[in-house]
Structure 1
Amino acid sequence: MADRFIKQGNTTTLVLRILGLAESTYYERLKRTKQSTGTSNNTGRGRPCPGYSLTLQGRKVSDEQIKEWLLELIEGEEHIYGYKLLAQCLRDKYDLVLGKSKAYRLCKELGILQKQRKPKSKHPRRLARNRLVTGPNQLWQADIKYGYVPGRDRFFFVFSIIDVFDRVIVAYYRGTVCEATHICQALGRAIWSRLQPGETMPVIRTDNGPQFLSVLFGDTCESWEMLHERIPPKTPNMNAYIESFHSSMERDLLTKESFETMEDAYAAIDWYMDFYNNRRMHGSLKRKAPTVFSEWVKQLKEEDQAKFHRTL
């Protein structure tokens, strides 16, 4: 009916308002009609955006990693550069081939275009400092790892939170996207599984990724009275335990497996997390798995527990 009135010379907006039909609904129906009759050149099944760029050597680098590099640059003296010069910095430092249009898009998504006013952070920035860790649930470190599925030519994400004291992965997330919502949900699972009501919240330490700079993550930490501290740019040693875990996962799993589907990758990640927590021995944990070490420490006297403190 709408098409008939439109063909009579009435405007589409007017006709839809009279019929009480949303524009989105109308155009979606029109699109499906064209596809079913073969009059549309767009089948709606085009190849999705790959979400990566290539280095000069042909290595694939995910867009999320590129965003982290861009944020690191603007934390330093390169903050005066526009998106074109930032792209050149990435080419010089990482051999990354990044076109100006994509550099503009990524900088716009991060809100760091030179002509735009840099938004003020709602939550104050707290730099990581050395801490003496004498027991579990005092300091957690968190970071994001990128995996690759050759069978789909797509990246996936693994977000992990590790307890510095007993090395237990207290929570993790894996998926094709990794936004602040997923980060907060994983953090919530960690709190509910490790802490009793009224217990002191651990400090959560991260890098300067966009998910950790988000208002949502800041609000979440504030509502749970959890102190969030960020490492300075180019200091991965201050997040050494989660970096070490992700290096182990890269060596033990991601470089050895070639996944055909996302489901294959997720199943492998789930297996590795269970293996790491419950069966993989650590020399620094008395050759015990993290969960086994954690239970073993609980049986010790306080003075013996203090022997396993960590400073970082």
Structure 2
Amino acid sequence: MLEVERSTYYAHVNREQQARPATANSSGRPVPGLSYRQDGKTISDEQICEWVMELLAGEGASYGYRKLTVLLKRRYMLRINKKKVYRLCKRMDVLRPQRQLTIKYPKRMASNRVITGSNQLWETDIKYGWIHGEQRFFFLMSIIDVFDRAIITYHLGLTCEARHLVQITQEALMKRQLFDKTDKPVIRSDNGPPFISHRFEEVCERFKLTHERIPPKTPNKNAHIESFHSILEAE
């Protein structure tokens, strides 16, 4: 209505928040300290904490906050969500320990490299476009050689999954006759779903390829393939 750009408005809001004194409460609305039952009766957080402790001492001994939320709704007819139950369990220090995830393939961060020839550094990325009249998207996934700026191979289709990435990676190695070579190129990508998949990492390990990923919000580290896709879109 005021024709103010969204970025201008949020920049102004951020400046106001930064200018607030340190004692100001900027954590959002205050916690109400109560919940409601289905009949509209109010129940204090202290009573809910007692019920949680009773459930943990009985049938809910091995339950996490999500299952405790379901029990509270069924047994005490509470109108409560899992986020509040999580906050109360955290305050009482009764949260179950989180399982430790084992990383099968460690992440390699992209680093600056001096490229002196072809097949030293490849970059890959996904570009999507809109099909006019079909009301759906198509996907283009390309692999570019940073030195000679050639698109070695690409996938174009209505879906873009890890299996397509594996396919074009094998095609790129075949076109450049690198299967029996000792020195394989480094493949650089962002953190999209196909690039972080176990399927692709297994193929990189099998073919002795080094796969490195750029940090989030740093497309400049994948600039060559980003530039190609931008020019292709403009044309």
TM-score, length of structure 2 as denominator length: 0.56
Q: Deviations over 1:163-188 (max 9, x none)?
A: 00000001100111111000000010
Q: Tell me which amino acid in the other structure corresponds to 1:176.
A: L
State whether structure 2 residue 124 is matched by structure 1 residue 142: yes
Change (3 A) 1:219 1:153: same
Structure 1 gaps of 5+ residues are 1-56, 58-115, 253-312
Give the equivalent residue in structure 1 for 2:44.
Answer: none
1:157 to 139, 148, 154: 139
Give the equivalent residue in structure 2 for 1:251.
Answer: 234
Change (3 A) 1:237 1:175: same
Change (3 A) 1:233 1:200: same
Give the equivalent residue in structure 2 for 1:126.
Answer: 108
Structure 1: how far apart are the matches of 2:101 and 2:139?
27
2:168 to 168, 186, 189: 186
SS at match of 1:132: coil
Give the equivalent residue in structure 1 for 2:157.
Answer: 175
Give the equivalent residue in structure 2 for 1:236.
Answer: 219
Structure 1 or 2: larger helix share? 1
Structure 1: how far apart are the matches of 2:219 and 2:194?
17
Give the equivalent residue in structure 1 for 2:50.
Answer: none
Give the equivalent residue in structure 2 for 1:263.
Answer: none
Structure 2 gaps of 5+ residues are 1-5, 7-97
Shift, 1:119, TM fit: 5.1
Higher relative contact order (CA 8 A, sep 6+): 1
Q: How does 1:28-39 map to 2 (within 5 A)?
A: none
Structure 2: how far apart are the matches of 1:128 and 1:171?
22
Give the equivalent residue in structure 2 for 1:70.
Answer: none
Q: Deviations over 1:205-224 (max 9, x none)?
A: 00000111100010010000
Q: How does 1:38-57 map to 2 (within 5 A)?
A: none
Q: How does 1:1-312 map to 2 (within 5 A)?
A: 120-196=102-178, 197-252=180-235
Q: Tell me which amino acid in the other structure corresponds to 1:247.
A: S
Q: Deviations over 1:208-264 (max 9, x none)?
A: 001111000100100000000000000000000000000011101xxxxxxxxxxxx
